[in-house]
Structure formats: C-alpha cells, structure tokens
Structure 1
Amino acid sequence: MKAHYPVLLAVIMAAAGCSSDHKSEKNKLETAQTQAAGTFGYDLAFLKKHKETIVLTAPDDPDARALVNPAFQGRVMTSTANGDSGNSYGWINYKLIESGEYQPHMNGFGGEERFWLSPEGGQFSVYFKKGQSFDFENWQTPALIDTVAYKAVESDAHSVKFEIDAMIENYSGKMFVIEISRKIQMLTKKNIANLLGLDALSGVKAVAYRSINSVTNKDEAWKPETGMLGIWLLGMFRPSDQTTIIAPFSKALSEKPLITDDYFGKIPADRLVVKDSVLFLKADGKHRAKIGIAPKSARNVAGSYDAEKGILTIIQFDLDPQGQYMKSTWEMHEDPYNGDALNAYNDGKLADGTQMGPFYELESNSSVKALKEGEAITHRQSTFHFEGDKAALNAIAQRVLGVNIDQIGEIF
C-alpha cells in the first residue's frame, strides 16, 4: 500500500485544487452579482444574465476590461479601468434589455460604442422608406444595425472580430449589397501613449480599445446620384451634473468654424459655450441638445470630463478634412455630401415628457466614396478612459484636447 500513497496523495490534492478553483470562480461570480449599481461587476453580471457577453482584457492590465455583445451588433456595452469594483463608463438600458421586447423605431440598448450606417435623413436615407415624410412616425432604424446579431469570426482574450453579409435599401430605391466587418481590440498602455502623443501614463488608471469597421461593396458600383453609405459610430455614456463635452475644432481650412448647433432648436447659453478653438456642451442628461462639426473644422479628437467622479474620456477617429460626409438631417438635401464628421448629443426629455436616458453621446462619422465592386470604406475609432491624479488627468487633457481641467469645471 505504501507504494500507492504518493499517487493517492496527488489525486487527493488535485481534487482539492479543482474544488478550490471551482469555489474561487463561484466566489468571483457571486461577488460580481452583488456589486453595486454603477460598477463594472454589476453590468457584467446583468449582461451575462440576459445575453451572450464577451469580456475583453488589456494585454498588460487585468483591471482594464470591456464588455462586447454579439446580439447588439458587436457593440462595446461598457468598459472600466479598475476591475469589477471600478466605474462602469457605458450607459446601459437595463429596463429594455430585461424586458426582452423590441420597441418601435429604435431599440436603445445603450453601449459606449455601437456601429450604425449613415445617412439618417435626406434622399439617400436608410432610415426612411421611399416617398415617406421625414417625421418620427416614419423613422425606423434598420434591423441590420438594431436587432440583428453579428457573428464573431475571430476572438481571443484581447480582441474579437465580427462579420455579416447584408442588403439595405435607401430612400431613393438604391439597394446596397454589402459585407460589414467590425473588430474591437484592447490597447496597451504603450498603445495609448503612442496614439495620443503622451510621454507616459503615470498617476492614472486607463482603459482603451480601438474598433476597426469596414463596409465592402459586393455588387455594382456606387454612384453619387443614387447615394452612398457611411460608417457612423455612436457612444452612450453615463452623465452627471458636472460632466462637460469637449470638442476642439480647427480654423485651418475655414475662418469661421463650421458648427451646427440647432438640431433641436437653439441651445441655451448656459449649456453651450464656443471658445476660440474648442466647444463645450453640458452633458448632464437633462436637456436635449446636439451639435455637429463639419470635416473642414473638426479635429480627430473629442472628449468629456466628469468632475464629480474624476473621469476623463477621449475618442480619437479617422478624419478626412477634404472628404465627403453624408448629411443626416431629416429633410431633402441640396448638398447631401456636406455632413458632419463629429457629433455630440446630450439627452433630455421629449415634448411628451418621456426620456430614454439619461445619457450623453460622442459620435464620429466616416467619409464616403463611390465604391466599385469589391472595394471598401474603413473607419477606425479609439475610445480612452482615464481616472486618477488630477494633475495627471490635466496633463492628458491639455495635450490631447487643448484644455485645462479646472477651466472645464468653470465653464458652466
């Protein structure tokens, strides 16, 4: 019997190890399920309960994580720089997801970066059927970018890629046969510093990811007179009374900044301030307001700062100052290729007193091209979140957005 003792002992220890591992995983799950609302762990448990959820982790930081959902077109639902107990940055529509029901017009599931197509309005719209008036009753988000699940074709611990073949018709009757490709890749601290032109990341916790989005034409050549498609990325974030959107702009190609600020009527002066080279929009989720910046005036970055929680958010995206961008206002367009490169939105109550959020949005658009069969347009966007020492956050804000954090806090 003595000869079997080492083997028996090894089996017992292995079994104990398996039991320990199982208990550890169970404890982790129970901890996540009891995390406070507003934390990443809370959102992880909620989303896993209702939909397949992919957890991505930065290669060099286990606390930097993001949640991606195939059922919601591969959108990044939320992320955190501080693990399960850290702040969850994306806005999530818990009530709608929990209901399991689809809504008319649009399903606002939330998420801090989702894939859409442009244009929204005009003669080349893919949100209105031919001959319909541009009214809310007729507005319908295509199922392709609303309720259709995207298939994951590649994935590992740090990235996931989705692909889908589709057909979609515009207001003028042009049928597009396309392939959509979307990849989300977590970024390292070195990636973050290089992309934003920072010396190093010290004094802050950070999480960042890049999405690479392509639309390939699988049919006859696109023509300007029958319309084109653009890639539109929208991020929904949690607001606070002390959150401000920051949108730098350039005067290099236009003396007067090409800014649209009346999408939903005039924005009150205590909610929108335009300085010499930067725009500030209050992002408290209490008043509907939207701005747009044309490609000749936009810069390839925008962001927000939550002074209440000390969260600095930045998006960086592909920008072609001389490119054509689809116009999306709900009207027929004299120049349908003179749209915005950047949009920002603050949620608020509708005329009937209802409200989807509260949330605020940072949005970027791609330029468009008359694609031949087999050609593609690609739009890349990186999303960054920083928390930590205020002086360190200020250095990032000044370097990337050209603003001082204390200055942001005094705007409104």
Structure 2
Amino acid sequence: MEKENNSADAINNTQINEQPVTYGDDVNFMADYIDLIELTDASNQSKVALSAALQGRVMTSSAFGTKGRSYGWINRELFASRKIQEHINVFGGEERFWLGPEGGQYSIFFKKGAEFTLDDWYAPKLIDLEPFEVKSVSAEKAVFVKEASLKNYSGFEFKMGIEREIAILSSENIQKELGLASLSSAVKTVAYQTTNSMINRGDADWKKETGLLSMWMLGMFNHSPHTTVLVPYIQGDDAELGEVVNDNYFGKVPADRLVVKEGVIYFKGDGQYRSKIGLSPMRAKSLAGSYDSENGILTIVKYNKPEGVTDYVNSMWEMQDKPFEGDVINAYNDGAPEPGEKPLGPFYELETSSPALDLKAGEKGTHVQLTCHLEGDEASLNPIIEALFGVTVEAIKRAFN
C-alpha cells in the first residue's frame, strides 16, 4: 500500500446513496492497495473480486460487468489512510472468514483476565490482517489456505489448518441452488458459494471443557433507506423453541426497526442505527436475505445448517452460563455507537455460523455459504421473494408502517 491519500470526496462512502458506485469503480480503487483475484462466469457479466491479503475475502461483486452496481461495502477511507488500526481494521467486503466465539470464557477476542469492554477487545490478527495463501485459481474458482494457531480466553491453544474455496455460479446453478422453478431473464444475477473447512492440526481433541471454535461468515453490504433484512424463522411455542429473536446485543432494538410477523422477521438495514439480532438453531432456517425496494436488489444468503445440531458458540460479552447456546444467523445494522460519534461505515451485515467444532485431532469441519444478488423490477423479483420467504414485495414495503 504505497499510494498517497485520496481526497475526502474521493473516499466518501456516503456517495453510494446518491449515485451508485460501480463494480469497476471499487475494483480500480482497491487495486492501488491490494492485489485482487477476479472470478467471472461464462457470460462475463457476473463478477466477484477476492483478496488473498484479507483472508480470501470476497470484497465485492457485480451482476452486470464492470458497469454494474458494486454490492460489497468497501471502506475507502481506511484503505486510503494506509494506517493500521489497533483493535480491528474494518476494510469491508461482502463475505469475510471469521472465527467465534467473540465473548465469554472461551473468547478469542479477549485475552485471559481481560474485561469484556471495547478497550480490551481485539480482532485476532489471523482474521484481521494476516494473508491467506493462494492454493489454486481458475476463471470460476479460487482456493485459499492457512496454517495457524490461536489461544482462547481460558488458555487453550487451537492449532488449525484452514481452507477456503470460492466458486462463482452460473444462472442455471443459482436457480438450482435456490430451488426456483424459473428465473426471469429480466433479472441480473451474481452468486458465489464458499466452502470453508477447518482441520484440527493439534494432538489434543477440541472439547467443550476447554472451549470450541466456530467458522463465522460476515457480509458487509451497502445500506440504503429502503433496505429491509428478511429472516424466515421456525414457528412454534416459545417454551419449546425459545425466543424468536435475540436483540440484546447492543440493547433492545426499537419496535420501529424490528418487527416479528408470522414466519418472517423484518429488520432495518438503513445504516442509521447500531443494532444487531440473532436466531438460535431452534428458530433459524437455512436462509436469510434483504430487499432494497428503491433499487430493486434482492440479496440472499443460504448456508448448510446441520439438522438436529444445537451447539453453537455464544458470542455475548460476558462470562457465560451457557457458552454453547449461541446464535446461528445474525444481522447487523451499523450506526453511530454514541450520539455524535462516527459509525464504522455505515453498512449492514448478514452473518451465518457453523456449529461449535468439537473436532478430534486430524478431524475436519465444513461450513458452506451461498451469497446471491438478484437485481430487477418488482414484477420480476416478487415471485422469487414469495417462493423463498413466503411474503410479497408489498408486505416488505409495509412492514414498518
């Protein structure tokens, strides 16, 4: 990273709401700071930009070539500053490989004996700044690998091998993966699937008694005043399945920003209020998404949720009575952490996690996630939204009324 700082106008991410940043704009900008790998489908319209320097991260994607909208949120200000931050370097990107748990006695973000406060919270360098090695690259697929070790809050050291495969999908495969009967030619699409694997390289088995890890995929996307996060959930008795949604991460989410209706949770992704929600494995399905009604963008995240598995790491910032009763799906909306303070982005996030990985020595765990962007008019997107989420475009637009 050797280029001089750009002007504030050139790096201001808020321009996204006024004039969409194109994929070509973002790729050209990032190419001055990091090497990028680009995947493209046979049509040369679906494109995905990856960074080995940032852990095989998907930085952004497009459904319409270099002139198409850039779907990933990119922190241009941080790139241009060339400064390394102490706690975390929020470069952005629409799918990054992370590890949990974040908080609790088995945390990998807090050192042993530290207080669970922001001052003592540090993103491990492994998932913040360290590069992954490029194992192989083709036009439609890239594979990244990493050998590493991490010590948790309780002092247990994990020795691991990580492999991350990223493949771009054709429109036919998108239709198949989403289980859609048809996909209108009027809808522009881009999708990629990541297969994330972790191997226990140590001599000791990973056990609950000393803490477990999870693979955690987080996607930062460009917010808008008209973006609504959609999370379908398993309906049933609270006494049997627990609460529908956990909204206690940053304090209770106001009722005008989080609405639970029959079968679907609506959560604002407008980048105007810092808040987060989560669903337990008892409530979560294998799907989440968002819809920007103004710009006609449907984003879908689908993952492999193992049936009958309920042990997920708990990332709450506290000593935990139930460290393996965490959430499997999360959504985050950025905003000022305190009145008058600057937000991280703003942006919004869709996240999924693997189960807690109780891997024996030499054993491997895998977490697969599909991210898909479909861009089109209401008439074209409505049947897809109905098929996947069981609601209409009009219901989404009226959700907070």
* TM-score, shorter chain, exceeding 0.5: yes
Matched length: 376
Q: For residues 104 and 242 of structure 2, what CA distance do their matches in structure 1 show?
A: 26
Tell me, what secondary structure is at the counterpart of 1:63?
A: coil
Paired residue for 1:395, among 367, 373, 383? Answer: 383
Alpha-carbon displacement from aligned partner over 1:158-194 (angstroms, at most 9, x marks no partner): 1100001001000000000000110100011111111
Deviation (angstroms), 1:37 = 5.8
Q: Kindly indicate which of the two structures has a greater share of residues assigned to helix.
A: 1
Tell me, what secondary structure is at the counterpart of 1:98?
A: helix
Paired residue for 1:332, among 297, 306, 319? Answer: 319
Tell me, what secondary structure is at the counterpart of 1:267?
A: coil
Q: What is the aligned partner in structure 2 of residue 29 from structure 1?
A: none
Determine whether 1:278 maps to 2:264: yes
Tell me, what secondary structure is at the counterpart of 1:411?
A: coil
- Aligned AA (1:392): S
**How do 1:152-191 residues align onto structure 2 when only pairs under 5 Å count?**
152-191=134-173
* Structure 1 residues 89 and 341: alpha-carbon distance in aligned structure 2, compared to 1, 3 A threshold: same
**How do 1:4-403 residues align onto structure 2 when only pairs under 5 Å count?**
38-58=21-41, 60-202=42-184, 203-219=186-202, 220-251=204-235, 254=240, 257-323=243-309, 324-351=311-338, 353-403=341-391
Q: For residues 158 and 135 of structure 2, what CA distance do their matches in structure 1 show?
A: 23
Tell me, what secondary structure is at the counterpart of 1:386?
A: strand
CA contact (8 A) 1:296 1:321 kept: no
Deviation (angstroms), 1:200 = 2.1
CA contact (8 A) 1:251 1:257 kept: no
Deviation (angstroms), 1:308 = 1.4
- Aligned AA (2:398): E
Deviation (angstroms), 1:150 = 0.7
Deviation (angstroms), 1:321 = 4.8
- Aligned AA (2:263): S
Q: For residues 276 and 269 of structure 2, what CA distance do their matches in structure 1 show?
A: 10
CA contact (8 A) 1:342 1:365 kept: yes
Tell me, what secondary structure is at the counterpart of 2:45?
A: strand
Q: For residues 221 and 150 of structure 1, what CA distance do their matches in structure 2 show?
A: 25
Alpha-carbon displacement from aligned partner over 1:314-366 (angstroms, at most 9, x marks no partner): 00011135321000000011111100010000000012612111100000000
- Aligned AA (1:290): K
Tell me, what secondary structure is at the counterpart of 2:142?
A: strand
Deviation (angstroms), 1:61 = 2.3
Alpha-carbon displacement from aligned partner over 1:248-277 (angstroms, at most 9, x marks no partner): 000268455431012111211111100011
Q: For residues 268 and 373 of structure 1, what CA distance do their matches in structure 2 show?
A: 45
Deviation (angstroms), 1:63 = 0.7
Which is higher, the Rg of structure 1 or of structure 2? Answer: 1
Tell me, what secondary structure is at the counterpart of 1:61?
A: coil
- Aligned AA (2:377): D
Tell me, what secondary structure is at the counterpart of 1:153?
A: strand
Q: For residues 167 and 343 of structure 2, what CA distance do their matches in structure 1 show?
A: 33
Deviation (angstroms), 1:99 = 1.7
Q: CA RMSD in A?
A: 1.3
Tell me, what secondary structure is at the counterpart of 1:49?
A: coil
Q: What is the aligned partner in structure 1 of residue 5 from structure 2?
A: none
CA contact (8 A) 1:75 1:115 kept: yes
* Structure 1 residues 37 and 409: alpha-carbon distance in aligned structure 2, compared to 1, 3 A threshold: closer
Q: What is the aligned partner in structure 2 of residue 23 from structure 1?
A: none
TM, length-normalised to structure 1: 0.89
Deviation (angstroms), 1:215 = 0.9
- Aligned AA (2:24): G
CA contact (8 A) 2:20 2:69 kept: no
* Structure 1 residues 37 and 305: alpha-carbon distance in aligned structure 2, compared to 1, 3 A threshold: closer
CA contact (8 A) 1:289 1:345 kept: yes
Matched-pair identity in %: 46
Deviation (angstroms), 1:44 = 1.1
Q: For residues 263 and 308 of structure 1, what CA distance do their matches in structure 2 show?
A: 29
